[in-house]
């Protein structure tokens, strides 16, 4: 199935002051240790399903790339929303994290990582050319590039 491509140039707009960007992933360091790899990799799906079913949790949107090293790019309302999800006993993250620490951490079989960025929206510059809705524009509001937003300098308000 081919994703719909929208011709033209688009950028992101939002009335929020800032956005939380969260990158998380795993790497199959010893891919032949299939049990450890599958056990760790299979935990993300239930977390995303939970977050999509609970919009009040603060996830605005995400994209995922799979491979030996996986990457999930996500946008959140705030770091507090992200931290609240991570520590919520009723959400699927905390139990999965504790299981990873108990069964895999230190073995070297699977690596996990994350990075969190709190970014003022005014300091972001994004452009999408001939793309389907993607990235920050899919997580917030996608608008056509026009007068006052044709260049990166203009989109940054400089």
Cα-Cα-Cα-Cα dihedral sign, residues 55, 131, 79, 29: positive
Share of the chain above pLDDT 70, in %: 97
Note the pTM of the prediction, 2 decimals.
0.90
The pLDDT confidence band at residue 1, using thresholds 50, 70 and 90, is: very low
The Cα angle at residue 137 between residues 133 and 142, in degrees rounded to 5: 80
The pLDDT confidence band at residue 157, using thresholds 50, 70 and 90, is: confident
pLDDT of the residue at 76? 98
Q: Per residue in 53-111, pLDDT tens?
A: 999 999 999 999 999 999 999 999 999 999 999 999 999 999 999 999 899 888 999 99
Contact yes or no for 100/88 (Cβ under 8 A) = no
Structure tokens belonging to residue 21 = 């960007």
The pLDDT confidence band at residue 2, using thresholds 50, 70 and 90, is: low
């Amino acid at each position: 199935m081919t994703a719909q491509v929208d011709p033209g140039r688009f950028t992101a707009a939002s009335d929020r002051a800032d956005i939380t960007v969260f990158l998380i992933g795993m790497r199959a360091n010893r891919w032949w240790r299939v049990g450890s790899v599958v056990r760790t990799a299979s935990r993300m799906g239930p977390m995303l399903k939970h977050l999509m079913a609970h919009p009040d949790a603060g996830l605005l949107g995400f994209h995922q790339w799979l491979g030996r090293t996986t990457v999930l790019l996500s946008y959140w309302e705030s770091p507090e929303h992200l931290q609240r999800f991570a520590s919520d006993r009723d959400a699927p993250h905390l139990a999965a994290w504790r299981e990873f620490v108990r069964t895999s951490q230190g073995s070297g079989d699977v690596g996990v990582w994350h990075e969190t960025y709190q970014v003022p929206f005014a300091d972001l510059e994004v452009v999408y050319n001939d793309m389907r809705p993607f990235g920050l524009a899919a997580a917030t509001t996608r608008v056509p590039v026009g007068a006052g937003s044709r260049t990166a300098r203009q989109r940054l308000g400089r």
